[in-house]
């Protein structure tokens, strides 16, 4: 059975070039970059080169790049590291559609006595900027709002958000895990103070992330230990993965155009064919402000896990915001925050593409998806009721 992998917002294939770049650092070059001898020193040099590549990709200075273990650590470090720098301020602002790495930190802090505000989104997943303006107080220690949403691909106007936040003298963090590698980022001309990325979402392996910290931003280390990363993150550098991430960022910069032309065209093709061939289907999220690789569609009157398993049976790997897939009982907090009706929220499927996807793969999905939905609708008690209500039953 062939595998059609369209779940790249979950994780991506490690690029062969990345693996190749990493391998020597498992075997020959195993030195510790902090060591005084030449054997560690040569590794240190390569780590610095990787740091430069990441900085170049983000439009940042190498000194502003801190390597972490993952996107979640970066998010935690940004929030806790800032709160610790402003101990007198007891309020933070996030949005209602954040990744759990921010959302659950916010609820943790709420239990610890912090005041937390979560900015609402509209039916299209767009942020309510007026609500943000009103939420800011002189007690606000940090605003953390994602760059682009993992489930719908909706891109937030981070620079506008940053202007609002910065004009109040508050540090601004953004989780750019889904944006990096899919849309151009340039932190040189930006209002962002702190930004998180994750290696495995851009063809590096799992277990490596970055926290960008703008020069001059107050920050206390979250991971306390040695002097590594200029005292901002303790722990011996994960050398092979740092090398891999450097390579992945170099490739991502090169592939950005392909991502925004060919991949986008593939996504648009897939989306339009699904809408054309399957009735009672809707796209979740603002289609005009969206990552080029992501489409979230809801099929009314059927349930997401069933769709995923039938797709999986044909080798197609996607994901769903339905309740049953996560083990929770409610559909994703993102779709609920957007007010997607229950008829559709349980039947949402996300396809997220990468540069490795092809037109043939899209055609394979388009061929097999409509009968799957029809089959589940034939089993669903609500589909017939719906047809009857439309005078078609």
Partner 1 sequence: MWDYTEKVKDHFLNPRNVGEVENPDGLGEVGSLACGDALRLSFKLDEQKRIKEVKFKTFGCASAIASSSALTEMIKGMTLEEAERVTNQDIADYLGGLPEEKMHCSVMGREALESAIANYRGQKVVKEDFEIICKCFGVTDREIIKAIRENDLKTVEQVTYYTKAGGGCAQCHPKIESIIEQVRKEMEKEGLTPKPEKKKLTNIQKIKLIEETLGREIVPALKADGGDIDLIDVDGNKVYVALRGKCSFCPSSEFTLKQYVESKLKEFVSDDLVVEEVKP
Minimum distance from CB of 393 to partner 1 (Å)? 12
- Residue 250 as a binder of partner 1 (CB under 8 A): the answer is no
C-alpha closest to that of 10 among 367, 349, 365, 300: 349
- Residue 301 as a binder of partner 1 (CB under 8 A): the answer is yes
Minimum distance from CB of 309 to partner 1 (Å)? 5
Minimum distance from CB of 317 to partner 1 (Å)? 10
Q: What pairs with residue 194 in β-bridges?
A: 173, 213
- Residue 90 as a binder of partner 1 (CB under 8 A): the answer is no
Tell me the CA distances in angstroms from 115 to 86, 91, 97, 107, 369, one per residue in order: 14, 5, 18, 10, 45
The footprint of partner 1 on residues 368-387 (CB under 8 A) is 378-382, 384
Size of the site for partner 1 (CB under 8 A): 27
Draw the binding track, 261-280, toward partner 1 (x: CB under 8 A; -: no contact): --------------------
Minimum distance from CB of 304 to partner 1 (Å)? 8
Name the burial class of residue 32, with classes exposed (0-12), middle (13-18) and buried (19+) by CB atoms within 10 angstroms of its CB.
Answer: middle
Draw the binding track, 303-342, toward partner 1 (x: CB under 8 A; -: no contact): xxxx--xx--x--------xxxx-xxxxx----------x
Using alpha carbons only, how large is the chain's radius of gyration in Å? 22
- Residue 346 as a binder of partner 1 (CB under 8 A): the answer is yes
**By C-beta, is 253 or 368 nearer to partner 1?**
368
**By C-beta, is 84 or 305 nearer to partner 1?**
305
Minimum distance from CB of 17 to partner 1 (Å)? 30
Question: What residues are annotated to the active site?
Answer: 324
Binding region for partner 1 (CB under 8 A): 301-306, 309-310, 313, 322-325, 327-331, 342-343, 346, 378-382, 384
């Amino acid at each position: 059975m062939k595998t059609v992998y369209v779940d790249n917002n979950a994780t991506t294939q490690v690029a062969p070039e990345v693996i190749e770049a990493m391998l020597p650092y498992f075997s020959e070059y195993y030195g510790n970059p902090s060591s005084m001898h030449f054997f560690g020193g040569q590794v240190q040099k390569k780590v610095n080169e990787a740091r430069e590549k990441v900085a170049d990709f983000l439009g940042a200075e190498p000194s502003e790049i801190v390597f972490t273990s993952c996107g979640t650590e970066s998010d935690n470090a940004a929030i806790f590291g800032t709160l610790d720098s402003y101990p007198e301020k007891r309020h933070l602002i996030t949005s209602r559609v954040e990744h759990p790495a921010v959302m659950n930190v916010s609820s943790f802090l709420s239990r610890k006595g912090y005041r937390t505000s979560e900015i609402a989104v509209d039916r299209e997943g767009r942020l309510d900027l007026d609500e943000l303006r009103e939420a800011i107080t002189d007690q606000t220690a940090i605003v953390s709002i994602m760059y682009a949403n993992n489930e719908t691909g909706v891109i937030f106007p981070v620079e506008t958000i940053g202007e609002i936040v910065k004009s109040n003298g508050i540090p601004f963090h953004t989780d750019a895990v889904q944006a990096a590698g899919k849309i151009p980022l340039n932190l040189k001309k930006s209002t962002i103070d702190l930004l998180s990325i994750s290696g495995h979402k851009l063809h590096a392996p799992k277990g490596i992330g970055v926290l960008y910290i703008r020069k001059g931003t107050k920050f206390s280390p979250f991971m306390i230990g040695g002097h590594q990363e200029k005292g901002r993150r303790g722990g011996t550098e994960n050398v092979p993965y740092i090398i891999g991430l450097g390579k992945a960022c170099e490739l991502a910069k090169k592939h950005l155009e392909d991502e925004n032309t060919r991949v986008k065209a593939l996504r648009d093709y897939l989306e339009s064919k699904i809408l054309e061939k399957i009735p009672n289907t809707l796209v979740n999220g603002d289609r005009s402000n969206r990552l080029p690789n992501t489409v979230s569609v809801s099929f009314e009157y059927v349930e997401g896990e069933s769709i995923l398993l039938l797709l999986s049976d044909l080798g197609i790997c996607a994901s769903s915001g339905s309740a049953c897939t996560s083990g929770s009982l409610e559909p994703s907090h993102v779709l609920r925050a957007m007010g997607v009706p229950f008829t559709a929220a349980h039947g949402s499927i996300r396809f997220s593409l990468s540069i490795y996807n092809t037109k043939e793969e899209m055609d394979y999905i388009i061929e097999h998806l409509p009968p799957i939905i029809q089959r589940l609708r034939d089993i669903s008690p609500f589909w017939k009721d719906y047809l009857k209500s439309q005078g078609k039953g």
